[in-house]
Amino acid sequence: MSDDLQSISDILASLPPCLMAQGRIDGEGQHSQTLALMAFSHSRVGILVTDADHRVLIANHAFSKITGYGCEEVLGWDIARFHSREQKPEYYQQREQLTRDHHWRGEVLCQRKTGEFYPELLNIDAVIDDEGQVTHYVRTFIDISELKEDQTRLQIKAHHDPLTGLANRLLFSDRLEHALKHAERHDTMLALLFIDLDHFKAINDSKGHAVGDNLLKQASRRLSQVLRANDTLARFGGDEFVALLDHDVSVESAQTVAMRLLEALEAPFQVHDGTMPLSASIGIALYPSDGDSQEELLRNADAAMYRAKRAGASRHAFVDKRLSRQMQSQLSDELTLRQALTDPSQHFSVVYQPQMDIHTQQPLGLEALVRRQSPNDQHGPREFMALARSLGLAVPLDRWIIRQVIEQHRRWREQGSPLGDLPIAVNIVADHLFDHPDHHASLDRFLEEQLDDAQWLTLEIASDSLTHEPSTTPDLLHRLKRLGVNLAIDELGEGHVNFSYLARLPITQAKINGALIAGVGEDARGQQLLSGIAQLLTNLGIDCMVVGVENQAGLTALTDQGIQHAQGYHFAHPMAADELERWLASRE
């Protein structure tokens, strides 16, 4: 027998009677054996030693504390008596692995003396004699009940909404993904119901968040009671809920559930100072007719919900196929635009339109305009700029345009071209500047880095942007002005800017919208309006530029009113830099 095995035998022989003492030990090695015995007895890990047939020979005090069984009570028991009949599949591979590897580790469901089941993490190691035969098994284990409970709590917290206890987006997404795969395999239908409480924000603002949270909890309970056990209801945040119906679904059943959900909210809700009514709008999207992916179904259900909300409170609506196609087109446009902005020079170009002195017929400045280079582009500059603005992509596009303009101006100056002496105007989307002052600071830094001399650059801001944050706009524009750039107001006449407010802004030029000069030659009141605006701007020290001059009649009307500066197709179309150079050379 090996020294290790002899040591184990000696320890077994020295154990007290309750641990089945077998024989005695002599004085040799007494100290190390005593230490081993102390470690065995005082360990917080449960330890069982069995014979080769898995019958208990010895047990330590931790075993007794965990299981409730006394040490002497279990002597001779088959180890299977402690284990539940319901185990994980790997449990049944235990003996095969012990025979092969002489070791097994896994989770086992066991039973205390009280009858209570608990999970334990178990290690089993075989003791092998000199002849390679298994003589004993040493089992060490810990009770992992608290660990499992902590894991359960963390899992619930990670997958459930803390306020209502409903599934959150993460858990809902996982269940929807499984439901979609099942529906695809079995060629079945599922329904997504997007539920939004009507006028909830107003209630939350007027009554406070405590009342709002109470209403959300009550509403979630009522909605849950309508659904079947195998349906999933999730809170997506705020007052938005989504229900997944993925068993025995039809158009009729989805509509029936939607109506029952609305009915469940009809009774007044209890709040601390009485009762309060609450209703919802529900949008219904069906798989596969309304989409075959999570994103598409959620997007279409959301759009259907807004259709229901526009029709009035407490309504439901299915997906409008025409609107769905429109949304697909918008999504395609968005994807195309985002891809284009990864390398703008491959997808966009900058063109320049001269701004003219009417009397001398000479250019006095240029406006830089962006154009898409895609031959398949179905959208004009205004449309794709509006799309970029709505998607929050206008800022990087603005910065790219300014860089192109700065580089082109530098080339013209180095070449000694007369174009290098002309001021250039760039229209920027300014809403984000007034909403987020940190964006304004970012633009300040960008211009300081890019520009050595800023006097030639004019930043044009649409007049409707000026009313966004009227109290802070003047200060923000003065900060830009201090960088040395000129500021102009574009599309004056489209927004609601009054002239007393305009006088507070550090602008050097205002561009009158071309719509104001349409038919002005035949309209006396139109002539007076145009003349009055031009005179007011002049009195404020602001240069008046009229855009959209398309023909000689429009030019004549401007001349009659004493307006000197104009821009439009009557003079020149927007041109690429080399074409503009040729245009200017031909005039000279």
- CATH code of residue 94: 3.30.450.20
> Does 5 score more than 70 pLDDT?
no
Residue 334 lies in a domain: no
> Does 7 score more than 70 pLDDT?
no
Mean pLDDT of 283-296: 92
- The answer to whether 545 and 567 have CB atoms below 8 angstroms apart is yes
Residue type at 524 in one-letter notation: A
Upper half-sphere CA count for residue 431 (Cβ side, 13 Å): 9
> Does 278 score more than 80 pLDDT?
yes
When computed from its CA atoms, the radius of gyration of the chain, rounded to whole angstroms, is 40
Residues 227 and 355 in one domain: no
- In whole angstroms, give the CA distance from residue 570 to residue 317: 51
**How high is the pLDDT of residue 342?**
82
Residue 84 lies in a domain: yes
**How high is the pLDDT of residue 469?**
59
Residue type at 374 in one-letter notation: S
Residues 485 and 402 in one domain: yes
Written as six digits, the tokens of 78 are 């088959």
Residue 331 lies in a domain: no
Judged by DSSP in three states, 288 sits in coil
Top-confidence residue, 367 or 444: 367
Domain-ending residue, one of 87, 114, 148: 148
Angle at 313 between CA 312 and CA 318, to 5 degrees: 70
Lowest mean pLDDT among 80-89, 115-124, 419-428: 80-89
What are the start-end ranges of the E strands in 177-303?
A: 190-197, 232-237, 240-245, 269-271, 274-276, 280-287
What average pLDDT does the chain have?
Answer: 82
Residues 355 and 442 in one domain: yes
- Under the banding of pLDDT at 50, 70 and 90, the label for residue 387 is confident
For the chain, first and last CA: distance in Å? 112
Domain-ending residue, one of 91, 117, 148: 148
Is 486 exposed, middle or buried (CB count within 10 Å of its CB: 0-12, 13-18, 19+)? buried
Residues 446 and 527 in one domain: yes
Top-confidence residue, 468 or 441: 441
Parallel/antiparallel/unpaired status of strands 457-462 and 486-492: parallel
Residues 177 and 134 in one domain: no
Neighbouring C-beta atoms of residue 405, cutoff 10 Å: 21
- The answer to whether 61 and 71 have CB atoms below 8 angstroms apart is yes
Domain-ending residue, one of 86, 120, 148: 148
Top-confidence residue, 197 or 562: 197
User: Which residues, in sequence order, are bridge partners of residue 110?
Assistant: 83, 118
pTM of the prediction?
0.50
Written as six digits, the tokens of 323 are 């609107």
User: Which residues, in sequence order, are bridge partners of residue 140?
Assistant: 47, 123
Lowest mean pLDDT among 302-306, 417-421, 513-517: 513-517
Q: Please state the three-class secondary structure of 99-113 as a single string.
A: HHHCEEEEEEEEECC
Residue 325 lies in a domain: no
Lowest mean pLDDT among 16-20, 343-347, 406-410, 449-453: 16-20
> Does 191 score more than 80 pLDDT?
yes
- Under the banding of pLDDT at 50, 70 and 90, the label for residue 432 is low
- In whole angstroms, give the CA distance from residue 516 to residue 494: 10
- Under the banding of pLDDT at 50, 70 and 90, the label for residue 356 is very high
Residues 139 and 175 in one domain: no
> Does 513 score more than 90 pLDDT?
no
Written as six digits, the tokens of 544 are 């008046």
- The answer to whether 530 and 549 have CB atoms below 8 angstroms apart is no
Q: Which domain holds residue 215?
A: 160-319
> Does 435 score more than 50 pLDDT?
yes
- The answer to whether 284 and 301 have CB atoms below 8 angstroms apart is yes
Mean pLDDT of 402-408: 91
DSSP one-letter code for 29: T
DSSP string, 40-91: HHH-SSEEEEEETTSBEEEE-HHHHHHH---TTTTTT-BGGGGB-S---GGG
- In whole angstroms, give the CA distance from residue 517 to residue 363: 21
> Does 218 score more than 90 pLDDT?
yes
> Which segment, 205-219, 350-364, 491-505, 512-526, is predicted with the most confidence on average?
350-364
Supply the CATH number for residue 442's domain: 3.20.20.450
Residues 370 and 515 in one domain: yes
Residues 443 and 570 in one domain: yes
pLDDT, tens only, 154-171: 776 777 888 999 999 989
Neighbouring C-beta atoms of residue 277, cutoff 10 Å: 14
Upper half-sphere CA count for residue 55 (Cβ side, 13 Å): 5
DSSP one-letter code for 523: -
Upper half-sphere CA count for residue 266 (Cβ side, 13 Å): 8
Top-confidence residue, 560 or 122: 122
- The answer to whether 367 and 511 have CB atoms below 8 angstroms apart is no
- In whole angstroms, give the CA distance from residue 165 to residue 182: 26
CA dihedral 523, 527, 529, 532 (to 10 degrees): -170
Residue 324 lies in a domain: no
- The answer to whether 354 and 344 have CB atoms below 8 angstroms apart is no
Lowest mean pLDDT among 189-193, 319-323, 455-459: 319-323
The distance from CA 101 to its chain's CA centroid, rounded to whole angstroms, is: 49
Residues 314 and 355 in one domain: no
- Under the banding of pLDDT at 50, 70 and 90, the label for residue 37 is low
* Count of domains for the chain: 3
> Does 32 score more than 60 pLDDT?
no
**How high is the pLDDT of residue 329?**
65
Supply the CATH number for residue 290's domain: 3.30.70.270
Mean pLDDT of 220-244: 93
**How high is the pLDDT of residue 209?**
84
**How high is the pLDDT of residue 380?**
64
- The answer to whether 134 and 52 have CB atoms below 8 angstroms apart is yes
**How high is the pLDDT of residue 475?**
81
Top-confidence residue, 126 or 479: 126
- Under the banding of pLDDT at 50, 70 and 90, the label for residue 376 is low
Mean pLDDT of 279-295: 92
**How high is the pLDDT of residue 221?**
95
Mean pLDDT of 526-549: 84
pLDDT, tens only, 252-272: 899 999 999 999 999 999 888
- Under the banding of pLDDT at 50, 70 and 90, the label for residue 333 is confident
> Does 378 score more than 70 pLDDT?
no
> Which segment, 222-226, 469-473, 535-539, is predicted with the most confidence on average?
222-226
Residue 327 lies in a domain: no
Mean pLDDT of 426-442: 66
Lowest mean pLDDT among 206-220, 263-277, 441-455, 526-540: 441-455
Written as six digits, the tokens of 254 are 């989805």
Mean pLDDT of 344-355: 91
